[in-house]
Amino acid sequence: MKRILITGGAGFIGSHLCKRLLNEGNYVICLDNFFTGRRENIEQLLSNPNFELIEHDIIDPLDVNIDEIYNLACPASPPHYQFDPIKTMKTSVLGIINMLELAQKNNAKILQASTSEVYGDPKVHPQVENYWGNVNPIGIRSCYDEGKRCAETLMTDYRRQKKLDTKIVRIFNTYGPNMTPDDGRVVSNFILQALQGEDITIYGNGTQTRSFCYVDDLVEGLIKMMESDFAGPVNLGNPAERTILDFAKLILEFTGSKSKIVYKPLPSDDPTKRQPDITLAKTKLDWEPKVDIYDGLKQTVIYFEQLLNKK
Ligand code: NAD
Ligand code: UDP
C-alpha cells in the first residue's frame, strides 16, 4: 500500500484524485487549507480508514511519511488567485519548496500540477511543450502564471541538483463535478447562469478559444504520469478547441435554457487562444482524453442542479 500525499486534495481536481487513488487501494493523505477547497468534496471519503485529512497551509513546512506527492494546492480560477496575489505566489513558490524538501526527505516521487498558463497568451498554436511562452511578468494573471513557471524551475533544479524524481504536467482547462460554484470560471458561470435563467456573460467578443477536458480523463493522465519514467513537462488536456461564444451556445442548447447572451469587458491579459498539442502525452504515457463533451457536460450539469436544489 503506497502512502500518497495530495495537496489541494479538497479542491475540484484533488477530490477526484483522492477518490480514485483510495479506490485503487492506496493510503491517501489529503492536505488542504480550505481556501477554495470544500469539505463536501471529500465528505464521503472521511470515514475510509485509509484516508487522512490534514488542515495545513503548504507555505509552511510539513513532516509526514509518504511515497508520492501530487502537488495541486493553489487557487486555479482567476478571481480566486487574484484575490490575494501575494499569497498565490507564496503558495506556488514556498509551497513547492516545502514539498520538494519533503520529497527529498522521504525519497518520494513528486508531481507538480502546472498549467497551460505557463504559455501565457501564446504565439504558437496549438501549444507544444518546447514553446517557452509569452507571459506578462507584471499583469493581473502574473501571480499565477509566474508562480507556476517558478515552480517548474524549482522542480527541474531539484531534479538536476538533488536527483529528485520529479514530474511536471501542464493542465489545460478542466471541468466536471466538484467545481466550486462561485469560482468565476467559464464552465461554472455558464452552466449556473443557464440553469437559473440568468444572462450568460461573455467577456470580450467571445472569439477567444479554450479546450475543455473532463476531470476523469485528467485524473487518468495524472496517475499515468506518476507511474511513468517520464519527467515532463507534458501537456494534459483535450484538444477539442472552441470559441467561448460557441461554448455559450452549446450550454444553452444542452440545458434548453432561454437565457440571453450578454457581453462584458474582457479582463486584461486574457489569452486569445488555447489548445494543447498532446502528441507527447500520447507517445510517452499512452494517454488521450476519452470523454465526449456531451457526456462530460451531462455529469457536470447534474452536479450543479443538485447544488441548486440544496439551496
Ligand atoms: P481548486 O481551487 O478547486 O483546488 C485547489 C485546492 O488547493 C483547494 O482545495 C484549496 O483550498 C487548496 N489550496 C490553495 N492554496 C493552498 C495552500 N496555500 N495550502 C494548502 N492548500 C491550498 O482548483 P483545481 O481546479 O482543483 O486545481 C488544482 C490544481 O490544478 C491547481 O494547482 C491548479 O493550478 C491546477 N490547474 C487546474 C486547472 C483547471 O482547469 N481546473 C488548469 C490548470 C492547472
Ligand atoms: N469567461 C467568460 N465569461 C465568464 C467567465 C469566463 O467569457 O463568465 C471567459 C474568460 O474571459 C476566458 C475564458 O472564458 O476567456 C475562460 O475563462 P476561465 O476563467 O474559465 O479560465 P482561463 O481564462 O483561466 O482559461
The answer to whether the beta carbons of residues 84 and 21 sit under 8 Å apart is no
Atom 44, ligand 1: residue with shortest CA distance: 115
76 belongs to a structural domain: yes
Quickly list H helices, the chain: 12-23, 78-81, 85-106, 142-162, 186-195, 215-227, 244-255, 279-285, 293-310
Q: Please, is 213 exposed, middle or buried when counting C-beta atoms within 10 Å of its C-beta (0-12, 13-18, 19+)?
A: buried
Q: Please, is 264 exposed, middle or buried when counting C-beta atoms within 10 Å of its C-beta (0-12, 13-18, 19+)?
A: exposed
SS3 178: coil
261 belongs to a structural domain: no
Q: State which residues form the domain around 119.
A: 3-176+213-239+275-290
Cis peptide bond N-terminal to 181, omega within 30: no
Interatomic CA distance for residues 306 and 311, integer angstroms: 9
Tell me whether strands 27-32 and 3-7 are parallel, antiparallel or unpaired: parallel
36 belongs to a structural domain: yes
Q: Which helix (DSSP H) or strand (DSSP E) does residue 10 occupy?
A: none
Tell me whether strands 109-115 and 68-71 are parallel, antiparallel or unpaired: parallel
Mutate to test the pocket of ligand 1, among 5, 7, 13, 80 (most ligand atoms within 8 A of CB): 13
**Which amino acid belongs to residue 48?**
N
Atom 14, ligand 1: residue with shortest CA distance: 74
Please work out whether the CB of residue 77 comes within 6 Å of at least one atom of ligand 2. Answer: yes
Atom 10, ligand 2: residue with shortest CA distance: 203
- The mean pLDDT values, 10 residues at a time, for the chain of 311 residues are 97 98 98 96 97 98 97 95 96 98 98 97 96 96 97 98 98 97 94 97 97 98 98 98 98 96 94 96 98 97 94 74
191 belongs to a structural domain: no
Ligand 1 atom with the smallest distance to the CA of 37 is: 9
Ligand 2: centre distance to CA 192 (Å):
14
51 belongs to a structural domain: yes
- 290: nearest Cα among 211, 217, 212: 217
Ligand 2 atom with the smallest distance to the CA of 203 is: 7
Longest dimension (CA), the chain: 58
Q: What is the pLDDT of residue 203?
A: 97
Q: What residues does ligand 1 touch, defined as CB less than 6 Å away?
A: 7-8, 10-14, 32-37, 57-59, 72-76, 91, 95, 113, 115, 171, 173-174, 180
The position carrying cell 515532463 is 232
Q: What is the pLDDT of residues 188-206, one digit of tens each?
A: 999 999 999 999 999 999 9
Ligand 1 atom with the smallest distance to the CA of 91 is: 18
CA 143 to chain centre: 16
Mutate to test the pocket of ligand 1, among 5, 12, 54, 57 (most ligand atoms within 8 A of CB): 12
Ligand 2: centre distance to CA 222 (Å):
24
Residues serving a catalytic function are 144
Q: What is the pLDDT of residues 103-145, one digit of tens each?
A: 999 999 999 999 999 999 999 999 999 999 999 999 999 999 9
SS3 285: helix
260 belongs to a structural domain: no
117 belongs to a structural domain: yes
Domain count for the chain: 1
Ligand (nearest to CA of 143): 1
Ligand 2: centre distance to CA 100 (Å):
31
Supply the CATH number for residue 52's domain.
3.40.50.720
Q: What is the pLDDT of residue 311?
A: 74
The position carrying cell 469560482 is 183
Ligand 1 atom with the smallest distance to the CA of 114 is: 44
Ligand 1: centre distance to CA 73 (Å):
5
SS3 145: helix
208 belongs to a structural domain: no
Please work out whether the CB of residue 201 comes within 6 Å of at least one atom of ligand 2. Answer: yes
Ligand 2: centre distance to CA 176 (Å):
16
